[in-house]
Structure 1
Amino acid sequence: MSHEAFTKPAPTTPDSRIWRLIPHLEAPGTVQMAIDRYLVEQHQLGLMPATLRFYTWSPPAISLGYHQHQYPDRWQNLIWNGRALDLVRRPTGGRAVLHQGDLTYAVVMSGLSGSCTQAYQQICEFLIQGWRSLGIQLHYGTAGRGYIHNPNCFGTATGADLVLEDGTKLIGSAQLRRGGVILQHGSMRLEPDEDLFAQVFGTEAFAAIKLPLRRGEDLIQLVINALVASAKNCFHVDFAVQPLSEQEWEKVYLDCD
């Protein structure tokens, strides 16, 4: 796994108007979850500002909600394109998510008041605005009666999730709260493999998102750019781009062991 050198030191006295933006990172699911836990811990200690990051999972993985203990045994032995799928537990709640052909966002912040639903809506506004700038209208979902018994996060849509005009779920999100610190991360389904999705959940995946790409333009980077711009507007902040430092990588890897 490659990563960039740390270009700026993280501020020791975080300015709430300057958030950290960690560049897009591709890594195994255990590493991604360790990074999210590390960011929560550091923000809770006052050693790191609020942070936004985007990442993808390699190899593809199924992430389980923190309290999700029932799932098919076959999930432990799934193969796709000659690679075994990882099975990873998230620090957040919710149902299982297949991470293949998706992009994950994570927000670590504090200072929000109100209920969990209100916090979701305050954070999700940057997702709604960002996707609207790409021509995609999103709305909050409504959980069906079978939500608790459905192992597939994308099989139902709660009030914390964002759906397309036809009700198809595009973004599933989950939260962890520690004191006044919130971690909210979620999966955005961009180009799911229909056969793999059916193999995992026994149902069809919805068609890939169609966005007008210019020649040579990358879909993931297009989405990230739109969401970073909308996050600046929604949270009234600027971003300092700061990849993980070598010291931070050491702490993350210790958490993975």
Structure 2
Amino acid sequence: MAVDRWLLEQHESGKHSPTLRFYTWSPPAISLGYHQKKYPEYWQNLRTNLTGQGEKLDLVRRPSGGRAVLHQGDLTYAVVTSGLVGSRIQVYAKICEFLIQGWRSLGVELNYGQAGRGYIHNPNCFGTATGADLVLANGSKLIGSAQLRRGEAILQHGSILLDPDTDLFKQVFGKDAFTPVQLLQNFHQETVIEALIVAACDVFNMQIEVQPLSETEWKEILNHC
């Protein structure tokens, strides 16, 4: 997510074009919202046995807001752009359109969540679904998103639950935590990314140019952390 923040700053200063990015997490980690102060103390010492090695769950802080997200079995997307006008929720809708259209091409209909401000009392991002989040027909939350603005430049990134481990979710959020939706048995990660790229090109009327970060850029990002 340090890359997301760096890309936003580069775009704000005119040094980098708009960006669409996808990535996963290894080992699993919990990301806290930028303003999130309350979370269970035991999160600082959590370990996962998913790989059989008892790896410690990293606890990191996002540059954007929202509640805690367990990054395991998920696909993270990031959009860095500018020139979008309207309220925060209107900008969410403009960016989320490529997510809705991409999943629709895979036969999955998504709608916006309905939760109000009560979400701030829940440390778990996927425990509630606000108007900035996307849910399945049965109300299960599939995509949680958050934003950060720098002038006219916007970073919106979010987590797409594809193949979460239910036991790990309960270990992090408690035995009464929700059961996250599992989609990987029907949709492979590469298939989802391809569908979302096609949708983004259509929605944003753009062409994608794959451009890996250079060694110099990686050094700059690491020094910026």
Question: Please, what TM-score do these two structures have when normalized by structure 1?
Answer: 0.83
Name the structure 2 match of 1:205.
179
- Structure 1 residue 120 and structure 2 residue 89: aligned? no
- The correspondence of residues 53-132 of structure 1 with structure 2, limited to 5 A, is 53-81=21-49, 82-132=54-104
Gaps of 5+ in 2: none
The answer (yes or no) to whether the contact 1:61–1:87 under 8 Å persists in 2 is yes
Aligned with 2:104: secondary structure? helix
Query: 2:33 is matched by which residue type in structure 1?
Result: G
**192, 197, 207: which one aligns with 1:228:** 197
- List structure 1 segments (4+ residues) > 2 angstroms apart after TM superposition: 204-207, 210-213
Identical pairs, percent: 67
Number of equivalenced pairs: 219
Aligned with 1:147: secondary structure? helix
The answer (yes or no) to whether the contact 2:98–2:200 under 8 Å persists in 1 is yes
Name the structure 1 match of 2:144.
172
- The correspondence of residues 42-57 of structure 1 with structure 2, limited to 5 A, is 42-57=10-25
Q: Deviations over 1:49-108 (max 9, x none)?
A: 000000111110000000001100000011112110000000000000000000000000
Name the structure 2 match of 1:6.
none
Gaps of 5+ in 1: 1-32, 214-218
Worse overlay, 245-254 or 142-151: 142-151
Name the structure 2 match of 1:249.
218
Aligned with 1:124: secondary structure? helix
**Higher relative contact order structure (alpha carbons within 8 Å, sequence separation ≥ 6):** 1
Q: Measure how far apart 1:255 and its partner are.
A: 2.0
The answer (yes or no) to whether the contact 1:144–1:156 under 8 Å persists in 2 is no
Q: Deviations over 1:191-237 (max 9, x none)?
A: 00000000111113224115646xxxxx1111100000000000000
Aligned with 2:143: secondary structure? strand
- Structure 1 residue 240 and structure 2 residue 212: aligned? no
In 2, distance between residues paired with 1:168 and 1:104? 18
Query: 2:156 is matched by which residue type in structure 1?
Result: Q
Name the structure 2 match of 1:9.
none
Query: 1:244 is matched by which residue type in structure 2?
Result: L
The answer (yes or no) to whether the contact 2:46–2:57 under 8 Å persists in 1 is yes
The answer (yes or no) to whether the contact 2:161–2:181 under 8 Å persists in 1 is no
Aligned with 2:131: secondary structure? coil
Name the structure 1 match of 2:111.
139
Query: 2:154 is matched by which residue type in structure 1?
Result: I
Question: Please, what TM-score do these two structures have when normalized by structure 2?
Answer: 0.95
